[in-house]
Structure 1
Amino acid sequence: MIKKILNKLGLIKKANYTLHGDFWQQEVNFKSIDDRFSFFETISKEKKVLHFGCTDWPIFDPSYNLHIKLAKVTKEINGFDIDEEGIANLKKYVDQPYYSTFESLKNKHFDVCLVPETIEHVDNVRTFLEGLSTVNADVFYITAPNCFAKVHMERNYYSKNKIIEVVHPDHNCWYSPFTLKNQIQKYSNLKVDEVFLLNNDTMVCCKATNKNIA
C-alpha cells in the first residue's frame, strides 16, 4: 500500500530502462566470474580443446599467453589461427596440432571449442559463425570485451570535436551481453545456454551447444 502511494506521488524513481517500451528491453541473465584464466583452465582441464585465436600475435607474451597456460592442464590442446607467423612462433612453446581453415577440422571431435576475444577481430562475423557451426564440439565458449564494463566506459576521452578511444586497433566492433548472444544465435547453429561476465565484468562469455547435434 505504501509503495503504491509513493509511486502515485512520483516519489519512487523508475529505472531508466522502464522509460522505453518492451520492444527495446533485452533481458540477459548472467553469472559473474572474477578470474578469466582460472575459468578457462577449469572448463578445459583434462579435455580435448580447440582454441581459436591462439597466437595472440603481435602482442605475444609467453608468460601471459592463454594457449601456453591451457597446454599445462588439457588432455590435448589444438590451436586455430589464420596467422601463420604467429603459429610458427607458438610452436616453439606448444608442439601440438594447429589449424587455419574450417575445412581442416572435418572429421575431428573436440570436448571444448574455446573462442576467447576473437570474434571482435574477424572481418565477417556471419561467415565466421557459420564456419564455427561446422566444428564438432560438445560445448563452445565464445567471449568478447564487454562494451558496458565500467572500466571500458570511463577510460575514453571526450572533447567537443574529438574522442580518444582506448581499444585494440584490430577490433572491428564492441559487444554487449545481448548483442554477442544475439549474433551467435542469429548467424550460427549454436544455442546459447549460459552467459558469464568475466574479469570484473570486462568480458562477456557465452556458453553454447550445437542445436543440430543430439
Structure 2
Amino acid sequence: MIYLSRKKSNFLLVSNIRSYEIFFDESMSSIAWDKVDGLIFVADHVRQIANEKWQNRLSTIPQTTIYNCVELDKYRFDKKSPGKNIGYVGYLNAKKGIELLLQCINEAVKIDPAYCFHIAGEFQGERFEHYTRHLVLEMDLERNIVYHGWVKDIPAFLNDMNYIISTSPWEGCPNNIIEAMACGVKPLIHNWPGASDIFPENLIFSTIDEFISILKSSDYDSSMYRDYVSENFNAEKQLPEIERFILSLLEKNDNADQSKSFGSSLNLKGWQEKAGSRYSGSNEKQDEEESVNYLQPLPPKVEIVDNRKAYTVDFCRGKKVLHIGCVDSGMMQKRIAENNYLHHQLAGAAERLIGIDIDSRGIKLLKEEGYDVETVDIETDKEKLAVLTKNVDIIVIPEVIEHLSNPGQFLDNLYSARFDSDILISTPNSFSYRVAQYLSQGVELVHPDHNCYFSLVTLKTLLNKHGFDIRRHLLYYWPSDNNFGRKYEQILDRSPYLAEGIIVIAHRK
C-alpha cells in the first residue's frame, strides 16, 4: 500500500483494512492517504478505532464496512451436536490469547476429562512454545491436546469438530469462526471489542465460567450457524457490495461509463477498462517510465525467532523432510560433537529424513554414520532432484541459496519437480545490523564461499520469478548476553528488518 500510494498512476486505489494494520504506526504514517480513493473495513469497531487514531489522515476518504466472506459451497455442512472435540485454528501466540486458551482447556477437562482440544496452527515465537508446553505439563493436559501443525484443508479438519474456540483479545472479522459456523460447528468466542456486533451474543464469553456455561449448554443449532454465515458472510452478497462501493467511487470521480453494465461478479479489470476518461490520453512510454519505483514495500507482518535451527527443527517435527545442503563443510565434526549440527537435529525430529549435498566427501562420512543421504548438484541434476522431492512434506533449504552460482537455475529445477510440499529457505540478511557494524572497520562479515546477498524484497522477487509464492516471512538473530547483544535486541525491537537472517515459508504456485 505504501508503494502503490506513492506511485504515479491513473488507477483507482482502494484499501481493504482488516484489523492489525491500524496499529502499525510506521506503515500507516508512510502511506500517502491523499492518493487513496476509498477504504473498506472488515468491521465497524476496526473502522471506529482507525478513524479515532488516524482522524487527520482518514476522515476525508470515502469509507464502508464489509465483513469478510466465504464461498459456502466450499464448506461441507453437516448437522452436528454437542461432543468432546474442540478445535482451534490459528497461530499460537499472545495475539491469539494463548494464556486464556490454556485456562479454558484446563477448566473444560476438570468438568469432563474426555474433552480433547485439536490445535490447527503453529507456534509464533519460542517463548510461547516453551510457555505452552510447560503449562500443559504442569496442568497434566498432554492427553487432552492434539497438535495438528499447519493444516491446509480446514473444512476437512472442521468436519470432525463439535466446537471451535477463539480466545483472541483482538480480532477484526475472523475467518476461522466464520468457516467453522459454515460447517455447522458451534463457536465459543471470547469477548474481544466488537465481537458482539458481529456474532450472536449467546456464543460469546467474557469469563471462564461463561465459557463453561456455553460449552455445557444443550443449545446447539448447526442450521442456525450455517444460516448466520449465509446471511452475514456470504460471498454471493459481500462481493457485489464491494463492487457497488467501487462503482460509487468511480462515479464520484466522474469516471464511470454509465452506458455499460458492470455485471454481478467482481472484475477489477472490467472496472479499469470501464473507467473511461481516467485512462484516456495517457502516454504509454511515460507511464512505463513512471512505473519504476525504487521504494519497495517490506512485508508488514514478520515474525522474529531467536534460534534459526530450533525453529527449523520444530517446523519439521513429525514430517517427511528433504534437507538440501545437509553437509556442514569444514565444521561438521565439531558441530556433531557440540550437538549443533542441523541434519542430526532434524533426524531426531522428522518422521523420515533424506539429505542431499554437492560435497561428496561429506556425504560419504554421513553415510558411514547411517544417514540416508545422496550426492546431488542441485543446479544441474534436475532429474535426481525431481525423484527426491516426491513424497515429502517439507523441503528445507537452510543457508544454501547464497552459496549457489545460479540460484535461479536451482529454483527452476525445483519448480519443474512438480511437488506439493512447503519449502523453508533461510539465508543471511543483506541489511543485518551486525554486518553493518564491521563496514566502518574496512572488513565485511561474510562466509568466504558466499556468492550473493538477499533481502526480504530481493528473495521474494527471485522466488516469484521462478514460480514460488511466500506465505510467511520470518527474521532470525542470535541472542547474546553481552553489551552488543543487549543493544542488538533493543535495535530489533525498533526495526526487526535489521536482523541477522531471513526465513521464508514458500509454496509452488
TM category, shorter: 0.7 to 0.9
Aligned positions, number: 189
Q: Does 1:25 align with 2:295?
A: yes
Is the 1:147–1:153 contact (alpha carbons within 8 Å) kept by the matching residues of 2?
no
In the alignment, the residues of structure 1 paired with residue 507 and residue 459 of structure 2 have an alpha-carbon distance, to the nearest angstrom, of 15
Inter-CA distance 144–39: structure 2 relative to 1 (3 Å threshold): same
Instruction: Say if 1:71 and 1:94, in contact at 8 Å, map to a contact too.
Output: no
- Equivalent residue, structure 2, for 1:67: 343
Q: 2:318 aligns with which of 43, 46, 49?
A: 46
Structure 2 distance, partners of 1:171, 1:34, is 23
Which letter does structure 2 place at the counterpart of 1:34?
Answer: D
Partner residue, 2:308: 36
Question: Displacement, 1:94?
Answer: 4.4
Mapped to 2, the partners of 1:79 and 1:180 lie a distance apart of 23
Which structure 2 residues correspond to residues 38-187 of structure 1 after superposition, within 5 A? Answer: 38-60=310-332, 61-62=335-336, 63-100=339-376, 101-107=381-387, 108-135=390-417, 136-158=419-441, 163-186=442-465
User: For 2:354 and 2:325, how far apart are their aligned partners in 1?
Assistant: 11
- Quote how far apart the aligned CAs of 1:96 are: 1.4
- Contact (CA 8 Å) 2:366, 2:373: kept in 1 or not? no
Work out whether residues 303 and 475 of structure 2, in 8 Å CA contact, stay in contact via their aligned partners in 1: yes
* Preserved contact between residue 68 and residue 94 of structure 1 (Cα < 8 Å): no
Query: 1:28 Cα shift?
Result: 2.3
Contact persistence 1:120–1:172 (CA under 8 A): yes
Q: Which has the higher strand share?
A: 1
Q: Which runs of 5+ in 2 are unaligned?
A: 1-25, 31-289, 479-498
Deviations 1:39-66 (A, max 9, x none): 1111100101011111011222213211
Aligned CA RMSD, in angstroms, stands at 2.2
Residues 72-102 of structure 1 show CA distances to partners (whole Å, capped at 9, x for unaligned) of: 0000111121111111122233421435133
Contact 1:68 / 1:93 at 8 angstroms: preserved in 2? no
Q: Following TM superposition, by how much is the alpha carbon of 1:103 offset from its aligned partner in structure 2, in angstroms?
A: 1.3
Is the CA contact (8 Å cut-off) linking 2:359 and 2:375 kept in structure 1?
Answer: no
Name the CA shift for 1:185/1:94 in 2 (closer, same or farther; >3 Å). Answer: farther
Q: Which residue of 2 aligns with 1:190?
A: 468
Greater relative contact order (Cα < 8 A, sep 6+): 1
Unaligned runs of 5+ in 1: 1-13
Identity %: 30
Match of 2:506 among 196, 208, 213: 208
Equivalent position SS for 1:106: helix
Q: What whole-Å deviation, never above 9, does each CA across 1:7-28 have from its counterpart, x for those lacking one? A: xxxxxxx99xx7xx98122122
Distance in 2, matches of 1:96 and 1:83, equals 15
Of 189-198 and 112-121, deviating more is 189-198
